[in-house]
Amino acid sequence: MKMYRVNVNGTMYEITLEVCDAAEAKNAPAAAPAPAAAAPAGGEKVTSPMPGTILQVNVQNGQSVKAGDVLFILEAMKMENEIMAPCDGKVTVLTTKGAAVETGAPLASIE
């Protein structure tokens, strides 16, 4: 184990790192990927067109929506973007207000 001091944006942190050789690093188990929210099968998926933060959720689970209704407000690059329903149906919300999302992240499903 080796202890280091790291300066991050003017704040000092003390960290401890375990020193290992290449053979140990290869045999270490890989970190499991984070589970993604699953959309119900058969529904029209509504995904994030870009990375950003969900500022507002305008619908609730089971609510009926029409094509063009604003489902979410997504903040990306200091702009507010309206995420609209692509079709008519009942919505299943897969995200929450304040969530950070990546491009293609599932936001809702409409059946």
pLDDT tens for each residue of 51-72: 999 999 999 999 999 999 999 9
d(CA 40, CA 30): 29
**CATH code of the domain occupying 44-110:** 2.40.50.100
pTM over 0.85: no
Q: Which amino acid is at 105?
A: A
Positions of the chain with pLDDT under 50: 34-37, 39
Report angle CA 105, 110, 111 to the nearest 5 degrees.
Answer: 140
Q: Quick one: pLDDT at residue 39?
A: 46
Q: CA-CA distance, 45 to 78, in Å (whole number)?
A: 25
How far is it, in rounded angstroms, from Cα 61 to Cα 109?
10
Tokens of 22: 């290449």
Locate all alpha helices (DSSP H) within 13-107, ordered by sequence. 22-27
